[in-house]
Amino acid sequence: LRSLGVFIRQAGTLLFICMILILLHGSRGEIPSKPIAATILPSVKPDGGVQAYPEDQKNNLPMFTMNYPRIQIPFEITLWVLLASFAKIGFHVYHKITIWVPESCLLISIGLIVGAIMHSVHEEPPAVLTSNVFFLYMLPLIVLDFVAVFMQVLWFAVVGTLWNSIGIGISLFAICQIPAFGVQDINLQENLLFSAIISAVDPVAVLNVFEDVSVNEQLYIVVFGECLFNDAVTVVLYNMFSFVAEMPVVEPVDVFIGVARFFIVGLGGMAFGILFGFVAAFTTRFTSKVREIEPLFVFMYSYLAYLVAELFAISSIMAIITCALTMKYYVEENVSQRSCTTIRHVIKMLASISETLIFFFLGVVTITTDHEWNWGYILFTLLFAFVWRGLGILVLTQIINPFRTIPFNMKDQFGLAYGGLRGAVSFALAFTLPDTIGRKQLFVTATIAVILFTVFLQGISIRPLIEFINVRRTNRNLETINVEIHGRLMEHTIAGIEDLCGQWSRFYWKDKFMKFNNRILRKILIRDSRAESSIVALYKKLELQNAMEILDTASGDISAAPSIVSLYEEKKSSSKPQKKFLAADLKNMHDILSKNMYKIRERTVAYRGKHALPNDNHTREILIRRHVSIRRSLRPGSFQSSYFSLPAGKSLESTFPAARRSYADDHETLSEVAYPSQRSRFGKPARSSSSKAMIPLRRLGTLEEVPSTDVLNEDSSSTEQGVFRTNSSYSDSHVPRPRRLNSSFDNNNGSADDLRNVHEEPSSPPPGWAAEPRDNTARNPLLRRPQWTPKRK
C-alpha cells in the first residue's frame, strides 16, 4: 500500500508538471516544437518571472509576506482540477441525477456555469487546450484505460469513420453551393476537414450511457472499440485534410499520396505500439527484484510510444493502444499482483481526471469564445451527422453480419447509430484548426453545437429509448429455474469443448501466430514461460499469497436460515407433498443459483463500469475450490499428511482434475462435512490445546458456516459480499497481505476466538500454514515456485 501511495505521488507530480507546461506555452494555436525533455527544465519557473526579492532598498526583513504570482499558475491549475472533481463527487452524491443525465452532460453544464461567471467578470479562462497539449497529455490517459477490442471493431471504426466524414463533407459542400446560406466561400477541402472533425465519436459519453442501460456485451464492445479506434482515424484524417486544405490546388497525385499516408500512419502507429510493447515486456522480465517500479515501466513505455509516434507524425493513438494491448498480454504475467493493481488504479484515476477536465473546459470555453452562428450550416450539419451515421451503421452491419455468430438485429443497430455522441476529440480538433481557414469561427461554433446537441439531447434520451425498444440486454431477467440450470450446464459444456479444440480459430494466420507466440515470443518475453492453462497459472499464484486470507474468517452471523430451510423440513415430514413455492422462495432460488454456480471462464474482459475495477470472480472461485479441498483434506485420517490440498507426492496436473471430479462423487462427504459444522459451532472452541493440528481445524470450522449463512442472508445482495466476507479486502484491492509470517505461533493459539470478530482486516495469517512451507517444499510441487516470500512490505 505504501508503494501505491508513492506511485500516486509520482504520477501526480508528472501530471502536475505537464499541466504547468500546458499553461506556460501560451495561447491557443501555438505549437511548441521543442521536445519535452528540453522544455521541462527551463519552464519550471512560472512565466510571470521569478519574483526575486527586489534588491532596490534595504528594508527590514518582512515577517509575513504574500507572493501570489509565484504560485499563481500551479495554484490555479490545482483549483481547476479540484473544482471539476468536486463537481464529479457532487453528481454521485445525488444518485438519481446520474441515472437520467449522463455525467458528461453534467460536467458540461457546470462548465457552462463557471464560464458564464468568468465571462461576466471578464476573466480569461486558462488557455489549457492547445493542440499538442491535448494530443500529448490528455488523450493518452483516456485511451490507455480500455484494452479489450476486436477485429470487427476496426471495421466499424475505420470504414465507418471514413464513410461518415466523406459523406458529411460532400453533402455539406453541396449545401454550401446554395447561395441562400451565405457560406459559399467554404471549399471542398475545408468541408472535408470539418466533417472529419465532427465524425469522431466520443468514447466517454457513449460508454457512460450504455453502461447505465446495461446493453448486451456484444453491442457494448463494438461501440466502445469503435470509439477508441475512430479517434485514431479521425486524427489521421484531420491531419491529412488540414494539410490539403492549406494547399491552393489539389492534384490527383496528392490524393494518392494522401491515401498512402493514411495507411502508413495507421499501420506505423500499430507497429510502434507493438514494438514498445515488446520492449516493455522484455524489461519487465527482469524486474523481479525491483517490484516497486514496475508500474512505472508500464506507464513510461506507453507514453514513450505515444510520443515517438507523435515525433514521426504517425497515429499516436494507435501506438498507445497497441502498446497497451501488447503489454497487457505479456507484461501482466511478469509483474506482481500489486503492480497490476497499482497500474489499474492509477490509470483509472488519471483517465477520470482528464475526462472530467475536458468536459468541464468544454463548458467553460463555450461561453467565453466568440461565436459565429449560421443557421443553415449548423442545422444541416446536425442533420447530416445524424443521417450519415445511421446510414453508415446500416450498411456496415449488413456487410459484417454474416461473419458474426450473433448478428446484430435492428435494435442493436439503432443503439449503435443513436449512440454516436460527439465529444472531446471533436472539441480539441476544432480548436486547433489553423487560422488560415477563413471560417474558423463558424467551424468552432458548429462543432460545439454538434457536441452539445448530441451529448445533451441524445445522451439524455437514449436511455428511455433503449429501454423502450428493448434492446437485447445482458441476461439479467428472471427465467425459469430449468432454463437457468440447463443454460449454465450448456455453457460449461461449451467451455470444455472449446478447450478440447484448443486455441483454434478460423483464421489460419492467427493459428500460426499463436504457435509462434507460444514457441518463441513467450520464451523471450515472459519470465517463467510455460504455456499453462489460465486457471492453473492463476491458481498457483494465488495459492501462495492468499491461502492465509481464506482462513482469516469474518464473523459470521449465526442467524437462522429463512424459508428454504423450513421448506425442507416440511418436506421431510410429509410424504410427498406438492410443494407450493412462493415467489419469495423462487427469488431465493434464483439468487442462490446465480450467485453460486461456477462462472464460466470469461474470454473477454467484461467492462463493469467506470468506477469499478475489474472483478476477480474468477480468482474467487478458485479460492472457493481451494477452500473445499482444504476441508476435505482435513477429514480425520488424512490429517497428518499435509495441510494443503495436494496430497503429498502427487503432481499438480493429476490432482487438479481430481478436484473437479470429486464434487460429483462426494456428495455424501459433502453433506457430512457440512453438517458437523453446525454442531461444532456451538461447541466450545476454546479448547486451547497445544497441538498444531487443532488450530486449522477449528478455524475451518468457523469458516464453514460463514459462507452458508451468508448466502442465505438476504442482506448480502451482491456476490462480492455474499459469499466471501473474508475476501472483501482481497477482492477490492487484490493486494495480498502475507504479513508477519514469522510471528509467534503461540499468539494465535489463543486468538482463534478473535477470528470471529475479524472483519475487513485480516491480521496475521495462521501460522499453521506458515510453518508448512519450509518443510514441505520438496513434497509439494505447488511451492516450487515461491513467488511468496516472507519479506514483503
Which positions touch other proteins (CB under 8 A)? Answer: 405-406, 480-483, 485-494, 497-498, 500-502, 504-506, 561, 564-565, 567-569, 571, 579, 581, 585-586, 589, 592-593, 596-598, 621, 624, 627-628, 631, 663-664, 667, 670-671, 674, 707-708, 710-712, 723
Nearer to other proteins by C-beta: 255 or 674?
Answer: 674
Spatial CA neighbour of 518 closest among 501, 533, 500, 535? 533
Nearer to other proteins by C-beta: 2 or 580?
Answer: 580
Nearer to other proteins by C-beta: 117 or 593?
Answer: 593
Q: Give the CA-trace dihedral at 644, 646, 649, 652, to 10 degrees.
A: -130
Q: How far is the CB of 707 from other proteins (least distance, A)?
A: 4
Question: DSSP string of 731-784?
Answer: HHH-------TTS-HHHHHHTTGGGGG--S---SPPHHHHHHHHHHTTT-GGGG
Nearer to other proteins by C-beta: 671 or 688?
Answer: 671
Q: How far is the CB of 217 from other proteins (least distance, A)?
A: 13
DSSP state of 693: T
Cβ contacts of residue 491 below 8 Å, gap of 6+?
600
Position 381, amino acid? T
- Residue 168 CA to residue 162 CA, distance in Å, equals 10
> CA–CA distance from 322 to each of 240, 268, 786 (Å)?
22, 11, 32
Q: Which three cell numbers stand for residue 73?
A: 499558475
Q: How far is the CB of 731 from other proteins (least distance, A)?
A: 15
Q: How far is the CB of 621 from other proteins (least distance, A)?
A: 8
Nearer to other proteins by C-beta: 117 or 489?
Answer: 489
Nearer to other proteins by C-beta: 178 or 674?
Answer: 674
Classify 215 as helix, strand or coil.
strand
Q: Are 742 and 639 in contact (CB under 8 A)?
A: no
Nearer to other proteins by C-beta: 456 or 598?
Answer: 598
> CA–CA distance from 174 to each of 167, 182, 446, 461, 568 (Å)?
11, 13, 17, 31, 75
Nearer to other proteins by C-beta: 362 or 712?
Answer: 712
Cβ of 638: how many Cβ atoms within 10 Å?
11
Position 598, amino acid? Y
Q: How far is the CB of 573 from other proteins (least distance, A)?
A: 13
- Residue 205 CA to residue 104 CA, distance in Å, equals 6
Spatial CA neighbour of 503 closest among 492, 511, 495? 511
- Residue 99 CA to residue 350 CA, distance in Å, equals 24
Q: How far is the CB of 333 from other proteins (least distance, A)?
A: 23
Q: What angle do CA 758, 761, 766 make, to 5 degrees?
A: 70
- Residue 646 CA to residue 379 CA, distance in Å, equals 70
Q: How far is the CB of 154 from other proteins (least distance, A)?
A: 18
Q: How far is the CB of 627 from other proteins (least distance, A)?
A: 7
Q: How far is the CB of 471 from other proteins (least distance, A)?
A: 16
Nearer to other proteins by C-beta: 444 or 630?
Answer: 630
Q: How far is the CB of 650 from other proteins (least distance, A)?
A: 19
Nearer to other proteins by C-beta: 260 or 674?
Answer: 674
